[in-house]
Amino acid sequence: MTSPDDSSHDSSAPREPDQGTAGQRGQGTADQGTEYADRVYRSVGGIAGGVLLLAIGAWLGIDAVIKGEGRTPWVALAGLLLAVPLVIAFTVRPAVYAGADRLRVRNPFRTITLPWASVEAVRAGYSSEVLAGGAKYQLWAIPVSLRQRKRATRRQARAATEDPFRRTSVQVAADADDERRAQADRTIGELRSLAETNATREGAQGAPEVRWAFEVIAPAVAGAVLLAVVLAIA
């Protein structure tokens, strides 16, 4: 995962700045009365790849439907009905929404809503994942790039060689170390900080909720059935 090496996030300032102030990057607010828009994390590379695949598939599929002979148009139509939802599910759909009260994880076939109090850990090994309610959920929208992580490790080692005694201020050094981390690791750090900060909020209590994405599953199953029928009767 992280052919998409980049994930983006969006955070907005408090609507009522006189009631609370935003923390450092990656931190939430302890002010119970201030509302914040969700931070959104998505894989830019994944979305770009998905749009490209959809464009190529639409071009080839529509051409086959219009110009094909015999069973070709039906095979192409069934193939599109099967492939398009799957491409969208694995590339465009994944997203992570981090709000003041909960973490919402939109994966290919499920949407998981996790109140911050239920989050036990957020970590990134070979993939990004969150542990909540005794279960483990993958974060498809935050792919881990081992290559990017190796580059970040080399940058940190080079920086330590250039400034072995940390002559810069503590805050500047901490910020520099954070910027040298891989993108996925920085994002996981932000989510971990939000979980720790907001777990005690009144609205952050509750158990995890999982909803299946039938809007993706249903057309994909219909496409698979139609394709099997067309191939069987041909």
Determine the pLDDT at residue 155. 62
Q: Which one has a higher pLDDT value, 31 or 48?
A: 48
> Sorting pLDDT into bands at 50, 70 and 90, what band is 36?
low
CA distance 152 to 178: 10
Residue 60 falls within a domain, yes or no? Answer: yes
Q: How many domains does the chain have?
A: 1
The answer to whether the beta carbons of residues 139 and 96 sit under 8 Å apart is yes
How high is the pLDDT of residue 126? 86
Q: Among residues 42, 45, 17, 41, which one has the least CA distance to residue 29?
A: 17
pLDDT, residue 227, reads: 93
Inter-residue long-range contacts of 201-205, CB under 8 Å, 24+ positions, other chains counted: 201/32, 201/100, 201/101, 201/116, 201/117, 202/32, 203/100, 203/101, 203/102, 203/115, 204/100, 204/101, 204/102, 204/115, 204/116, 204/117, 205/115, 205/117
Q: Assess if residue 169 is contained within a domain.
A: no
User: Is residue 2 included in any domain, yes or no?
Assistant: no
pLDDT band at 161 (very low <50, low <70, confident <90, very high): low
Domain boundaries, position 116 = 7-145+182-233
Task: Indicate whether 174 belongs to any domain.
Answer: no
pLDDT tens column, 88-98: 999 999 999 99
Q: Indicate whether this model's pTM tops 0.75.
A: no
Residue 164 lies in a domain: no
